[in-house]
Structure 1
Amino acid sequence: MSPHGSRPDPAARPGLPWRGSLRLRLTAVFGLLFFIAAAAVLAGAVILVRNSMQYSLDIVFSPDHASDSDAGTKSIIMDSMRRNLLTKGGLTVLVVGVLATTAGWLVSGRLLRPLHQITSTAERIAGRTLHRRIALDLPPGEVKRLADAFDQMLDRLDSAFAGQERFIANAAHELKTPLVINRTLVEVAMNQRDVPPETRQLGAHLLAVNARHERLIDALLTLARAEDALTDRVPLDLAGICAAVIEAAGPEAAQEEVRMAQRLAPARTVGDPILLEQLIRNLVENAVRHNRRGGHLEVTTRHGARGAQVEVTNTGAVISAHEIPVLFEPFRRLTDRIGSARGSGLGLSIVRAVAQAHGGDAVAVPRPGGGLTVCVTLPARAGSAGARRR
């Protein structure tokens, strides 16, 4: 089986939902600065009032004629004034501080609203939707310049991808047309009555090479289509697709003496039926083609914790874990180890591209004793058992 590279779980590290929030940090800074400033003002007010009261009391209770009782009265007045000022001033600072922090939360949210709009657009673009634009309606400023520069970059990217799609379509047509003509000419020549056996054998080899080239072009087109935005999404069950693909692969598996087993539980998702069928076909065909004679493969569908899953396990050559990421890339094969020269090196690259285009992923791990296990996870269809468990 052509190994598929495995990647670590892209899920974010566990943490509090507000951790890293710029709005929360701005609000905290606003509140902290207000409380520091208010505390400084209150301390200054206490000092000023104390000095003023001290001066006034010195006039009322002249130091030259003050008695012990006057000094005690003066001390009581000063302590009462200080406590009263600190208590009421502290409560005032606290109430106004809470109101100021709330206002800071609201103001920071409004100031950051353009950034949220830019982030939302970027997230939609990350989902392969290059036709959207920010189109920020604000007066000229730093944020407006950032949004306009982002829109200009999207215009260039959209034009580049559109040109790439046109090139792929034209190249596919130009490449497949001569192959079809060559296949037709060879078949016509081989069907003539006076063709020598050597010529028929040569024609058979030419047809095999021609068929391989056609499959390579089809695989490249599938890979290019999988990396583009999906336009056809329908509810479907991966178990049904797997059953049809396994039945179609039966003759090839019998020829290679590979025993096939299946454990197909409902695995409902939403996606492009053609691309998902190609994904499963690549998994099963690779599992047969890169198996050992007399080996076995097993296809399993289920609802996992993260969605609908299809898993294909086969026997074969021993593959080290560090070799799997290398073989994630197109046209990378272990020809001398697992006999993958018969393939194009695109099988599991297509699997990953299709899975990621549907919002899922594909991982591979070596099987103890030889072979590989490839697991594809796709978002569960809303209302399915898997979705309810999530």
Structure 2
Amino acid sequence: MGSLRLRFTLVFGVMFFVAAAAVLVVSVVLVDNSMRYTLDLAFPAASPLEPPHSAELQRYLAVQRAAQPATRRNIQETMQFNLVFKGGLAVVAVGVIATTAGWLVAGRLTRPLRVISATAERVAGSTLHRRIDLQAPPGEVKSLADSFDGMLDRLDQAFAGQSRFIANAAHELKTPIAVNRTLVEVAMNRTDAPPELRQLGENLLAVSARHERLIDALLTLARAENSVTDSVAVDLAELAESVLDTAAAEAARRGVTVEDRTGPAVVTGDPVLLEQVVRNLVDNAVRYNRPGGVVTVTVAPVRDGVELEVGNSGPQIAAHEVPLLFAPFRRLTDRVGSARGSGLGLSIVRAVARAHGGEASARPRPGGGLTVRVLLPAGPRAFGPRGRTGAPAQGIR
């Protein structure tokens, strides 16, 4: 928008200088013609001489006649110089004032466009609930702002309808799955149930549990893609430590060592969604790891906010495959056979990070594995309520 204001100012300035130069040239021509006529009257080319009364008077008149062309030329050149020089200075001075006024006028003219642009940036970065509501007389800019508000209304309704549909569909799907799980458990607990029935029941329960996790992931994803309404100060390190305590048993069962490198770092956001981010990253890092591998969890304040970084020593991942991991229901070839994964973990991580004004990215680790980095805006305090200071604590969990 600044470039548009600058272009308007340049157009105003150039138009003024061109018009002022044209006026100055016309003025010089008109004044020159007027001075020629006046000088012709003041210094006639020939005039009858009175009979000389003396030789001295005759010589004086002859000298005056001889000096007339030089005097006339001097007067004309002086007039032209004064007009061009002083007129040019006036044009420059007034041009600077006019250009400054043009800058101010251009700023006022482009102010509604700046409002529209700022609203569009806020909508793109956070929520669809904002509106321009431009208070201006009817015109092209007012019509543009109203059209933009109407488009936002339709988008807001569409996204709200989509979220309601996902939530309602997930709720309706949970009911039959719960009923099926109950029936399977009743059948498995019958005293006369054969071993084949019990084995089939265990498989059906595992499938039902996976479907329930998928539905919960869809609900979390739908919630994360909306604006964050429950924003409080949260120590991301405390969330990470709580998740690590929960994942310690699974990590020990798989022979995975977890390195806790968390330090106090406060963010502002929804604690439930933020905990889901940490949990998804830690679960993925433990699940898709090699026996005897390592998982590192780092939480620390950085210049741009608060950084959460989770890395593991899993299989080799090519750089061009990393963006696929953030797409919903997309997993790498070696992950397709997972009985627990739904392909929504990193999608939820990125959606929650963006809903909080942050971003999530990933990069392959040398020697195999993946490092996922989540950057979130810092909260109101530099340290958490536990009051820890100094470098992040390092340890083996």
TM-score calculated relative to the size of structure 1:
0.88
**1:52 maps to which residue?**
34
Please state if 1:175 is matched with 2:173: yes
CA contact (8 A) 1:290 1:340 kept: no
Please state if 1:40 is matched with 2:38: no
CA contact (8 A) 2:126 2:357 kept: no
**1:359 maps to which residue?**
357
Aligned match for 1:150, one of 148, 151, 162: 148
State the one-letter code of the partner of 2:264: P
State the one-letter code of the partner of 1:35: F
Moved more, 81-90 or 289-298: 81-90
Moved more, 165-174 or 240-249: 165-174
1:2-151 equivalent positions in 2, closer than 5 A: 20-64=2-46, 67-151=65-149
**2:59 maps to which residue?**
none
Could you tell me how far 1:182 is from its partner in structure 2?
Answer: 1.9
| Deviation readout 1:124-178 (Å, 9 max, x if unpaired) | 3223433333333334322222222222222222222222222122111111111
Aligned counterparts of 2:135 and 2:217: Cα–Cα separation in 1: 44
SS of the residue 1:369 aligns to: coil
Please state if 1:313 is matched with 2:295: no
CA contact (8 A) 1:290 1:338 kept: no
1:58–1:330 Cα change, 3 Å: same
Moved more, 98-107 or 293-302: 98-107
State the one-letter code of the partner of 1:36: V
Moved more, 320-329 or 277-286: 320-329
Could you tell me how far 1:90 is from its partner in structure 2?
Answer: 1.9
SS of the residue 2:90 aligns to: helix
Higher relative contact order (CA 8 A, sep 6+): 1
Aligned counterparts of 1:268 and 1:68: Cα–Cα separation in 2: 97
SS of the residue 1:319 aligns to: coil
CA contact (8 A) 1:316 1:338 kept: no
Bigger CA radius of gyration: 2
Aligned counterparts of 1:205 and 1:117: Cα–Cα separation in 2: 58
Gaps of 5+ in 2: 48-63, 384-397
SS of the residue 2:285 aligns to: helix
**1:209 maps to which residue?**
207
1:324–1:340 Cα change, 3 Å: farther
CA contact (8 A) 2:297 2:309 kept: yes
CA contact (8 A) 1:335 1:341 kept: no
1:190-209 equivalent positions in 2, closer than 5 A: 190-209=188-207
SS of the residue 1:105 aligns to: helix
1:338–1:151 Cα change, 3 Å: closer
Moved more, 126-135 or 372-381: 126-135
**2:394 maps to which residue?**
none
Aligned counterparts of 2:26 and 2:219: Cα–Cα separation in 1: 76
1:176-325 equivalent positions in 2, closer than 5 A: 176-325=174-323
Moved more, 84-93 or 64-73: 64-73
**1:166 maps to which residue?**
164
| Deviation readout 1:28-71 (Å, 9 max, x if unpaired) | 21112111211121122122222322332233223457755333
| Deviation readout 1:308-352 (Å, 9 max, x if unpaired) | 000011111111111112232111111336855641111101110
Aligned counterparts of 2:153 and 2:8: Cα–Cα separation in 1: 33
State the one-letter code of the partner of 1:365: R
State the one-letter code of the partner of 1:24: L
**1:9 maps to which residue?**
none
1:360–1:67 Cα change, 3 Å: same
SS of the residue 1:313 aligns to: strand
CA contact (8 A) 1:334 1:340 kept: no
Runs of 4+ displaced beyond 6 Å: none
Q: CA RMSD in A?
A: 2.1
Could you tell me how far 1:21 is from its partner in structure 2?
Answer: 2.7
Aligned counterparts of 2:90 and 2:330: Cα–Cα separation in 1: 71
1:46–1:384 Cα change, 3 Å: farther
Moved more, 289-298 or 66-75: 66-75
TM-score calculated relative to the size of structure 2:
0.86
| Deviation readout 1:188-209 (Å, 9 max, x if unpaired) | 3333444333322222222111
SS of the residue 1:325 aligns to: helix
1:303–1:73 Cα change, 3 Å: same
Aligned counterparts of 1:214 and 1:284: Cα–Cα separation in 2: 20
CA contact (8 A) 1:136 1:144 kept: yes
Gaps of 5+ in 1: 1-18, 386-390
SS of the residue 1:160 aligns to: helix
Aligned counterparts of 1:24 and 1:212: Cα–Cα separation in 2: 59
Aligned counterparts of 1:20 and 1:105: Cα–Cα separation in 2: 11
